[in-house]
Every structure is written in structure tokens, then in C-alpha cells.
Structure 1
Amino acid sequence: MIEPYIPDTLPLKIIDWERHVTLIGKANAALARYDGILLGMVNPQVLLSPLTTREAVLSSRIEGTQASLEEVLQYEADVGEPRPDQEIPDTPQIRDIHEIINYRRAMGAAVEELAARPFSINTIRNLHRILLTGVRGGHKDPGEIRHIQNYIAPPGTPIERATFIPPAPSILMDALSNWEEYLYSNERDPLVQLSILKAQFELIHPFLDGNGRIGRMIVPIILYHKKILSRPTFYISAYLERNRETYYERLLAISRDGDWNGWISFFLQAIVLQSEENSVKARSILNLFNDMKTQVPEITRSQYSVQAIDVLFSSPVISSRDFAIKSGIPNRTAQRIVERLEQKGILRLLREGKGSRSPVYLFSGLLDITEREGK
């Protein structure tokens, strides 16, 4: 049986800086271009909200959920934003959707918390508590650093045949303290530092469940904390989900072979390609928004065009009832706006109304950009 992993003390002394210099330059330049687009957006929180939900979908999919972005948005259009204490119907799809909603909710809480206090292990514990509330893993001490040994292996596999055994509980707090000290230290390059912080967190594996999702969640948070990005809005999971086997192999190679430089190269490449993909999507969404600012007033001839556009970008799958509620537009006027937008192909009817259920519409232009695959 392999022994529990003993984390390397940070900072590392084995970084091959010469090997990484080209990727460091590309990654920093790509992130700067992406942040320039963010800075040019009037309301990036609204415009990029579908990308935020897609990040939650893809990060959760790495851990085994099956729900799609459209299924999550349609569920919310049907039932509204679920409360954290709401009882969840016991079906696999609905459970998956609530895991994704919790992920997005945790990221929202992170943004609020970072505005009030510095990022820390306590922040991570709060995010973990939100992530696991009421869903799979909810019985595994949400928000609490583990007190028992865990291990990584296929379901039903005994610890003797584990792929990886994280550190023993007795050394967790020292490892996390060292992680936090390194977070606040000055490394030669902050993106190399980020790559090390992300991998070290997943190798420490401080929780009984949800470590991978938290490990991906902290990427945009640290980019914001280190002032590399102007807001914690970055989507790394698409690349990691497409390269899942390499992602896990690079992490395993750290614990098995001490190959930190292989991981750093992989992560910097992920930053380069994902920054480029994020930039293309953010620019496309901004262009679509500008197009809608021209088209929607012409189509609707309504004083409520601005409210209508904001709702469509924040809720690209929406019922006619919720469209009126979220926009504050009077019901009859809201219905007329929706009908005209459907006639002109801006909205597509996803589900017809029946009885007390309102029809549900899809803002396909925005969803097409959001779901477009990158490299």
C-alpha cells in the first residue's frame, strides 16, 4: 500500500524557471488581453453570467454530474432560483442540477466575501460549506477540515489499492498554514505561484469531498486576489474537462515522481488557451449585447428595451412570467415584447405554456456563444 502523501514545503526550490519562461510570457499576455475585455464591459457580472453557469456545469462534470447548461437554465426557468434550505427531489438529474447551482452560488459568495475581507483558508471553508449543502457529499462535514484519512480510488476499491492517499489528518493544519503563507508571499511569477497553489491544495485534499471543485474554484479567486484580473471571472474547467486524463496524470506525477515542472507547464498552457477562449467568448457576448442594443428597440418600439436586454443576458432561458417579474415590465407589455422578439428570431420557444405553466423561451444567440467549444 502506498503511504499518505507528505506535501512539499512551499516555496519550492526545484522550479525550472528557464523552462517556463516562454509560457509565462504567453500566459500573462493572454490574461492581460482578457482582462482588457472585462474592463470594457459595463456590467460583466450580467453579460458573463451564462459563462459562470457553464463553468459550474463543466467543473461539476469532471466529478461525474451529467446535467447540461441548458437543462440547468430550463430547471431554473421552471422552478426559479432554489433556496439553500429547499428540499431537493430525489432524481439523479435534479441532484446534479443542484450541485451545479451550489457551485455557482459558492462563487457568488466568494465575490461578496472578497469585497469584505482577504482571501484565506476560512474563505475556502465557507465556499465548501455552500458547495455541499443539501447535495451529494452533504453528510461529509461541509466546511470542516477532515479528521479521518481519505483516499482516491474507483468506487468500492480498498485503500490498499488506492491511486493516491492524501496527507494524514495530523499534518493537515500545518500543510494548510504553509499553503496560506505561500499565498501571501511574493513568488517570481504569480501565475507559476497560482499553478503551485492549485495543485498543492488538491494534493492536500483537506475535505472529505469536493476538493477538486474547490481547487478549480480558487483559480479565478487567486487571479483576482493577486490583482492579475480586475474581477474573479475566469473559466478554467473547459480546458481541464477536455484534458481530464492529462490533468489527473500531471497531478499524480507530483506526488509519485516529484514532477512539479511538468504540472507547471501543463497549467500555464491551460491558462494561455483558456484565456484565448474566454477572450473570444467575452468579445462575442459584448458584440451581441451591442447588436441587441440596436435591434431590440427597433423590434419592440418600447421604452423598456434596456430592461428587456438585461434580463435576456442574465437569464437566457426564461419563462414569460419570470421575464415580466425580473424586468419589472408590466405583464401585458412584457408579453408583447417577448412575442415580437420570438417573431424576429431573437427568442426561440423552448416549451409551450400549459395550464398554469408559462411558456419558456431561449435566447439562442447567447447560448450558442456560451456552448461553443474552444481548442
Structure 2
Amino acid sequence: MPYDRNHPFNDLPLLPPVQDVEDIEILRKLVTASRALAGANSNVKRLPNPYMLINTVALQEAKTSTAIENIFTTEDDLYKAVSDTIKEDQANAGTKEVLRYREALWTGFKQIAGRGRLELDAVIAIFRQIKNSTAGIRAPQSLTTIRRGQSEFRSGEVIYTPPRGAGLLERLVENMLDYLNNDDKYTADPLIKMCVAHYQFEAIHPFADGNGRTGRIINLLYLVQKGLLDQPVLYLSKYIIVNKEDYYYHLGAVTQRGSWKPWIMYMLDAVEKTSSLTSQLISSILEQMEATLEHARTKIKWYNKEVNELLFSQPYIKPRMVGNLLNISSRTTLGKYFNEMVEAGLLHPAKDGKEVYYINSDLIAILQG
């Protein structure tokens, strides 16, 4: 039967796709995307402490992925929350959403490290972390539809009705996960599988909300699972938000016409371009770290590599962070140390009420560039 957007897409085909999705043009694009991804992962390995990326590259991915869903926060609010300059429960709604995305990403990363595969309970846990909810897979009676936004032409019009029915969503998600996990049965290249499974997850739309963000986290975790990324830090959402209309158009084309090739080409291009972007971002951070360390050592006697790494772990730094690192509890001593870093041009001070924190402007310039 022809696809009808006003009726549940219960005929969503199981994976793998019926048609061959690996023609010559796709395979050529796969080679360039794979090379770019390998280059980005090599740069990740250059970092002295990979967890530095939690509050730099991973935070940018979280912010942008959340913005795709029209949920926004400012860089300033986000950095304050990350540095504990403001408490998370005092943060605005947009900032809380971004922080939950970041935590969901790292929760999933730990589960992948422990199990070596994506499973349904992990997917549900990621969704719950994102939405701060105890909900799970949509109930059979849930009349979920995807409609045009209020700012769009023909606002409110139904553009897609995902599948619904007792046990159907669970079977579809389990099929998708089997496709990703079972390399003996499904032998496609991991990047091709990621592209195909991302469409499938968004088409299943297993949750009442938060499917886009959950799906984008699954992409990164799967790349980690297959050994293509050591850390889930690919800045994939940057490409999607810049090319948002194409993203939704190609998703719809698979649903309506089974048009897989343009969708896969789009996603492989996203991997290639954002791998290059992520690689450059990491290179810029490493180069600035080296330049800052070299400069600081000529100005500050006590300054060392560990403090330098801390200053590049997140854009806003509080004195107690350096105190904990150097085992210094004296406010007077810490005040002296931070004055020296300010005089050397490494940081500049700012206040939020009575709270004083210090900003690494060089790091912010890289992240916002």
C-alpha cells in the first residue's frame, strides 16, 4: 500500500533494507568518510587526558544536538553550570536539557564499555536521562504524530505518523539493534549500518519525545562500539543543524519512496565533514595548550603541565579546582596564584553575584569558532 502520512507507518520494513545500499558512489564516499573519521580519532588519542573532551567537544555536541530540537541556552549559562558557578537546579530549562544530554551520552558510553553492544535497556536509559523521566517505549494507544512547527508553512499539518501497536515498537527496535550488533548476519560496513539504523530509529520514533537526541547519541555510541571512535566526541550535530532542512527531507524520502541513497550520502558527508571539524577543534585546543604552557612557564614559577591541562578542561575555572589539584586550601595562596595567571594573560576574572570565577578566553574562542 502507498504510504499515508496520516496513518501509523506499521508497514515500516525491517532491516536490512531490501535494496542494495552500497553502490560505487556510496562506496567512494564511504572511503573518504572513514579516512576523515580515523583522522579525528587519531587526534582524540593525542590528548593527554581524553576526559578533557567532556566539557569541550562533547559539550558542544550536546548543545547543538539540543538546539536541533529548538531548545536553546547561552554559552555563558552552560559554562557556568558545568563549572558549578551556578548549581544545576538553578540553571534555566535549556541548560538543564543540554547537561542531561551530556550525561546521557557518558552514561551510554560506560554501558558500551562494559557490554560491548547496544541493548534495548541501554537505549531506554539514555532516553530517560535526556528527558529526566521514568517513561519508556510509547504505549500502544499513544496517538503520536509529527507535525509542522508553528513557524512553518502549513503549521500544524501532519508530516509523519510513526508505527503504533502492542509490542510492535519493541520488535522494531530489537530488529534495529540486532542489525547493528550482529556482524555475522548483517555484513555491511559499520558506517553504512549507522546511517541505515539512524533512519530506522527516527522512523520507529519509539518514545513520546526526545527521539532525535536519543538517536544521535546512539550514532556516537555505535561508532565507539565498532572501534571507530575511542570517545563519543564526534561533533555530528553541527552538520545536521547547518543542513537541517536536508536532514528532514532525506529522512522523509526514505519513508515515502524508499530512497536510501541520498540519505546515506547525506549521513556519510556528515561524518566526513564533522570528523574534519572535530579533528581541527582538537588540534586547535592542543596547539593553544602548548602555547599557553610555554608562555606561562616564563611568567609563573609554580605553573605546570597538570594545571595547564585543567585550564583547558572547561572554559570557566573556579579557584577550588586548582586548589584540589595542587592540594592547596589557603584562599590567600589561591588568590595569589590566580592573580599571577590573570597578570600573565592566561585567564580573566568574572563575577556572578558574589561568586568569582575565571574565564579561559583562548579556549572559548576555539569552541565558538
Pairwise same-fold verdict (TM > 0.5): yes
Identity among equivalent pairs (%):
25
Measure the CA separation in 2 of the matches of 1:153 and 1:353.
Answer: 40
The 5 Å alignment of 1:110-149 reads 110-117=108-115, 118-133=117-132, 138=133, 141-142=134-135, 144-147=136-139, 148-149=142-143
Compute the displacement of 1:321 (Å): 4.5
Q: Is the 8 A contact 1:56 1:103 kept in 2?
A: yes
Q: Which residue of 2 aligns with 1:152?
A: 146
Residue type of the alignment partner of 1:22: R
Q: SS of the residue aligned with 2:358? A: strand
Compute the displacement of 1:10 (Å): 0.8
Runs of 4+ aligned residues of structure 1 deviating over 6 Å after TM superposition are: 156-160
Q: Which residue of 1 aligns with 2:24?
A: 18
Compute the displacement of 1:298 (Å): 2.9
Residue 267 to residue 353, structure 1, CA distance change in 2 (3 Å): closer
Matched, 1:362 2:329: no
Structure 1-normalised TM-score? 0.87
Compute the displacement of 1:260 (Å): 1.3
Compute the displacement of 1:78 (Å): 5.4
Residue type of the alignment partner of 2:67: R
Compute the displacement of 1:296 (Å): 2.9
Q: Which residue of 2 aligns with 1:271?
A: 271
Compute the displacement of 1:19 (Å): 2.6
Q: SS of the residue aligned with 1:329? A: coil
What 5-or-longer segments of structure 2 have no aligned partner? Answer: none
Compute the displacement of 1:235 (Å): 1.6
Matched, 1:168 2:164: yes
Measure the CA separation in 2 of the matches of 1:307 and 1:166.
Answer: 50
Compute the displacement of 1:326 (Å): 6.1
Measure the CA separation in 2 of the matches of 1:32 and 1:121.
Answer: 28
The 5 Å alignment of 1:275-290 reads 275-290=275-290
Which of the numbers 72, 92, 95 marks the counterpart of 1:94? 92
Q: Which residue of 2 aligns with 1:107?
A: 105
Q: SS of the residue aligned with 2:317? A: strand
Residue type of the alignment partner of 2:344: K
Compute the displacement of 1:325 (Å): 4.5
Measure the CA separation in 2 of the matches of 1:234 and 1:47.
Answer: 10
Compute the displacement of 1:4 (Å): 1.3
Q: Which residue of 2 aligns with 1:85?
A: none
Structure 2-normalised TM-score? 0.88
Compute the displacement of 1:221 (Å): 0.4
Compute the displacement of 1:361 (Å): 1.7
The 5 Å alignment of 1:295-314 reads 295-302=295-302, 305-314=304-313
Compute the displacement of 1:183 (Å): 0.8
Q: SS of the residue aligned with 1:163? A: strand
The 5 Å alignment of 1:34-73 reads 34-47=40-53, 49-73=55-79
Matched, 1:339 2:339: yes
Q: Is the 8 A contact 2:58 2:232 kept in 1?
A: no
Q: Is the 8 A contact 1:37 1:283 kept in 2?
A: yes
RMSD, aligned CA: 2.4
Measure the CA separation in 2 of the matches of 1:63 and 1:371.
Answer: 20
Compute the displacement of 1:327 (Å): 5.6
